[in-house]
Copies of this chain bind each other. A is one copy, B any other.
Amino acid sequence: MPNEDVYILCYGWAVGYVRLPDGRRQILSILLAGDLFSSKLIFKETPHFAVQSLTDARFSRISRADLKARLDRNPNALGALAKVCVEEGTAADDLLIDLGRRSADERIARLILSVTERLRSRVVIREERYPFPLRQQDIADVVGLTPVHVSRVIKKFRQTGLIEWAGGSLTIVDPVGLRRIGLVD
C-alpha cells in the first residue's frame, strides 16, 4: 500500500530485504544508525522491500511531503540527498559484483570489511572490536549463501586467525589477511 512517510534508522541495526513466496530471502541492505531505509522511497510511495530490525532499534518518521518541501527550499540539501542516493547505488552495485562473480570466502570477507568500515566512520571503535549483531542466517541472506556454508567459512576464518567472533561482537585479528581475501579489485 502507498505510504505517506519516509523513515530513518536512529538507533540499532536493521536490514532491508525481500522475501519470495517460497521463503527465500535476499537482504538488499544493512542499515546502521543514521541510514534512510532507502532514498528510493522518497520518490516512490510503494516500497518494494521490507525492513526488519536485528537489535533494539529506534527510527523516526518524516512526512514525504514535508521532506520534499524542505528540499525545494534548501538547495544544498539536494546535494546531500544526491550523495546519499549515489552511495546507496554504488553499495548495491558492489554487492552485485560480489553475488555475480565472487566466491563464498570473498563475499563474506568483503561483507565483514564493508560493515566494519561503515561502522568505523560512525561510532568510536576500541581495539578493533565491533558490535556485530548479524546472525549467520542474515549473513547468508546478504551474500546469497546457506547458513551452514556461512558457518563453515566463518570457522575457517577463525581457525586461520583472521577474526574472532562471539556474542555479537567481532574483532578483526588480521586485517591484512582478511583484505587479501576480500579486496580483489
Q: Chain A: residues with CB nearer than 8 A to chain B?
A: 18, 20-22, 24-26, 28, 38-40, 42-44, 48-49, 72, 75, 79, 82-83, 85-86, 88-90, 92-93, 95-97, 99-102, 141-144, 184-185
Contacts and interface: CB of A to CB of B under 8 A. Distances in A.
A24 to B, nearest CB: 4
Contact of A25 (B21, B39, B83, B101): B101
A117 to B, nearest CB: 16
A48 B90 contact: yes
A45 to B, nearest CB: 11
Given A75-B72, A184-B20, A144 B100 contact: yes
A38 B43 CA distance: 18
Contacts of A100: 26, 99, 141-144
Contacts of A97: 18, 20, 26, 28
Contacts of A89: 38-40, 85, 88-89, 92
Contacts of A25: 101
A89 B16 CA distance: 14
Nearest to A49: B93
Contacts of A96: 26, 28, 92, 95-96, 99
Contacts of A49: 93
A101 B43 contact: no
Contacts of A75: 72
A82 B72 CA distance: 14
A90 B83 CA distance: 18
Given A26-B100, A40-B89, 17 more contacts: A18-B93, A20-B185, A22-B184, A24-B101, A39-B89, A40-B85, A43-B82, A43-B83, A43-B86, A44-B86, A72-B75, A85-B89, A88-B89, A96-B99, A99-B99, A99-B100, A100-B144
